[in-house]
Structure 1
Amino acid sequence: MPCPSGILLFLILISLPASSFAVADDDNLSAYQALQQYDFPVGILPNGVVGYELNRETGEFSAYLSGTCKFDIDSYQLSYESTIKGVISPGRITNLKGVSVKILFFWLNIVEVIHNGDQMEFSVGIASANFPIDNFYESPQCGCGFNCNGLNALASSI
């Protein structure tokens, strides 16, 4: 089960390779597939990314959700804005904007994500935390994270 800080980073990594600010459809790649091209697991982004843009020369990206996305994972609350921006390169996302984590009583912006071996490192600027990469092989869902069984059953019966 992915850890909360890692999930915030998921969204950060959602916008990946396409041609210079090309939409993902131009390359027939989803944002999740683009992430994998930069050596990131799909789980750093929640389900529901509706598009992305990527400048392959500079690494600048934008990833789009249909709205804001919040969920809990373990003892963390994560929040993704409808647009996530940053700069991506193999194994690193910098200047991340649009992803935050609640630690104790404070919301902190996740500003950098690094894939280093079997670890994912998430930085909020003054501090960082490492999590096993296998926590990020699956994408969380907005609203329920990884605890959606009851909600999925209810939704499918409506």
Structure 2
Amino acid sequence: LKDPLLILEENVSINIAEMEKKIPLVLDTIEKSISTLFEADGPHQNTESLNVRLLELAGNISTDLTKVRTKLSARLDKTVRTISTLKARIASLGCLGSEGFFSLSTQCFKMFKDVKLNWADAKSHCESHDLILAEPSDAVALDLRKYVVDSYGGSHRVWLGGYADGSKWVWQ
């Protein structure tokens, strides 16, 4: 089961990193615009005054970008704390917080009982729901078999996320 909160946390980090990468591009664009302004207007009679205004503008832009970066960093920190809190709450719920899931020991499982697929299609079906095929620990494997037989009868196929790698079986 892919952790949606982890996915959110990764996406937020990626978005902030992408925004931070754009800051130097914005500054470069401003610098080029200023150079173009000088070239287009030719020599200014009051160059000193213009230079002072441009330096003030650059300082203001730099200050504004620093504030934006600080705010983004604070939002990321707050989001990370919120995600951590939600992870703790979800962990305390076990599988109870997820519709259609059941818990065996400390692992969560979901059975798609009306879907009859081969292993590859079952794997794809799970991935389309942001899940993976079951990979029960050895201690849980027999409990899982018993749960499926007791709940759904012995006529249902259950695909696990293992595959043959030469002479041994491994989890995907």
The structure richer in strand per residue is 1
The structure richer in helix per residue is 2
Higher RCO (C-alpha under 8 Å, 6+ residues apart): 1
The TM-score normalised by the length of structure 1 is 0.23
User: Which one has the largest radius of gyration?
Assistant: 2
The TM-score normalised by the length of structure 2 is 0.22
